[in-house]
Amino acid sequence: MTTDWRCRHGSRSSCIKGCSWIMGNGLKFNIFIGRNSQENDVMKPFSYMNADMFAAYVMCTTQDKDAVRLTLEQIDVIRRMCTEYPELEKHSVLILSKMACLISVEGGHSIDSSIPVLRMFYQLGVRSVTLTHNCNTPWAETSSGYYPNFYSKRQNNSLTDFGKAVVDEMNRLGMLIDLSHTSWATAHAVLQRSRAPVIFSHSSSYTVCNHSRNVPDNLLQMLKENGGLIMVNFHSAFIACKQEASISLVADHFDYLRRVVGAESIGIGGDYDGATGFPPGLEDVSKYPALICELLRRNWTVEELARVLRLNFLRVFDSVEKVRNSLLKTPSKNTPPCCRGGALSPSLSPLSWALLLLTLLHPYSSTVISG
């Protein structure tokens, strides 16, 4: 493959983040690295790995601009990569002789407030969408303050009617709803709304480390009732709330989460290359055995770890598709009104308003619009 599907951190407005989520085969697993800090260390053996979710990610600065095009380009590269490597299998987690190649879109701004775009992403193989990245969208809130200028003046809009329509449509399509990066209020609203299990694909425990990217206990309880997953993020700032962390502290998150929600609600979401700074000895996915050893030492059972590494994610994926199957006769809806980019807002010039009014009043306008 000739396309450079890697990208250097921060050097492009978009990049693919591989191997955030891992599903090993029981306790035996080896690692595929989509990309890490050593740019040359791109591919490692696939053996024992059954699936990888590649994140198509475009920066928040593309919101209301070219986010859809850039996301499509990311999806294109992932699809080509999955096609050109015979070890990969698109869209399926059932063919165990190959590694499933799944696509996630990380950041709701990538759909540009368009449910048809969401549907087309599904057609292209996207099976998970993180509802926000580090910016608000017109319909959901982020946990981050990085981009305070995006839709910051909304009130009581943690999940607008359009946001609820996005959740409903993801349920209907059979897409995983990912709540990492969303505000707690948005996560709460989604957990109340979604008929299918949801995931926090790369977040840790707020009680162990009080960072806003982590998940507080009240949401964990809702997540357990929902049947979803919290997939532990290994980034030092989310593990220790400072730059130095350790494998032992990561294991503390696992221990705490097991006490609160049980091993059946936990997964792994390392966030390699989504972040910089990881505990010594856990710098990339090849080091996961060190964590597993620590958990075994803390009396985690082989069955619990098999769930964490593989079975929990498969269960959630299966549940999401069962909900989809139950909704098969539910027709797709027209896009409800939304508010992206202040379109149709008073910011339109008087001349633009006049032209728009004339167009709408024109006798052929309905033909023009429907065509």
Positions that interact with Zn ion (CB under 5 A): 274
Per the structure block, which two tokens stand in for 125? 């193989």
Tokens 């921060």 found at = 10
In the bound state with Zn ion, the residue whose beta carbon lies nearer, of 258 and 267, is 267
- Residue 106 CB, shortest distance to Zn ion, in Å, is 6
- Residue 17 CB, shortest distance to Zn ion, in Å, is 8
In the bound state with Zn ion, the residue whose beta carbon lies nearer, of 138 and 274, is 274
Within a 13 Å sphere around the CA of 295, how many CA atoms are in the beta-carbon half?
Answer: 25
Give the closest residue to 68 by CA, choosing from 21, 11, 137: 137
- Residue 202 CB, shortest distance to Zn ion, in Å, is 5
Range 263-274 burial, b when 16+ CB lie within 10 A, else e: bebbbbbbbbbb
- Residue 351 CB, shortest distance to Zn ion, in Å, is 42
Radius of gyration, CA atoms only, the chain: 21
In the bound state with Zn ion, the residue whose beta carbon lies nearer, of 163 and 274, is 274
In the bound state with Zn ion, the residue whose beta carbon lies nearer, of 199 and 292, is 199
In the bound state with Zn ion, the residue whose beta carbon lies nearer, of 146 and 353, is 146
Integer Cα distance of 186 and 357 in angstroms? 36
- Residue 108 CB, shortest distance to Zn ion, in Å, is 13
Reported in sequence order, the residue ranges of the chain that DSSP labels E, i.e. its strands, are: 14-17, 22-24, 49-58, 88-90, 99-106, 126-130, 176-178, 199-200, 229-232, 266-268
In the bound state with Zn ion, the residue whose beta carbon lies nearer, of 24 and 274, is 274
In the bound state with Zn ion, the residue whose beta carbon lies nearer, of 142 and 319, is 142
Per the structure block, which two tokens stand in for 323? 């909900």
Per the structure block, which two tokens stand in for 362? 């024109």
What φ, ψ does residue 266 adopt, rounded to 5°?
A: -120, 140
- Residue 55 CB, shortest distance to Zn ion, in Å, is 7
- Residue 203 CB, shortest distance to Zn ion, in Å, is 9
Integer Cα distance of 108 and 158 in angstroms? 13
Task: Give the Cβ contact number of residue 143 at 10 Å.
Answer: 21
- Residue 52 CB, shortest distance to Zn ion, in Å, is 16
In the bound state with Zn ion, the residue whose beta carbon lies nearer, of 67 and 292, is 67
In the bound state with Zn ion, the residue whose beta carbon lies nearer, of 203 and 319, is 203
- Residue 75 CB, shortest distance to Zn ion, in Å, is 17
Integer Cα distance of 267 and 255 in angstroms? 12
Give the closest residue to 136 by CA, choosing from 106, 111, 158: 158
CB 209 within 8 A of CB 234: no
CB 101 within 8 A of CB 54: yes
- Residue 336 CB, shortest distance to Zn ion, in Å, is 27
Residue nearest to Zn ion (CB): 274
Largest CA distance in the chain: 76
Give the closest residue to 97 by CA, choosing from 10, 25, 16, 21: 25
Strands 49-58 and 14-17: antiparallel
In the bound state with Zn ion, the residue whose beta carbon lies nearer, of 20 and 319, is 20
Integer Cα distance of 182 and 192 in angstroms? 15
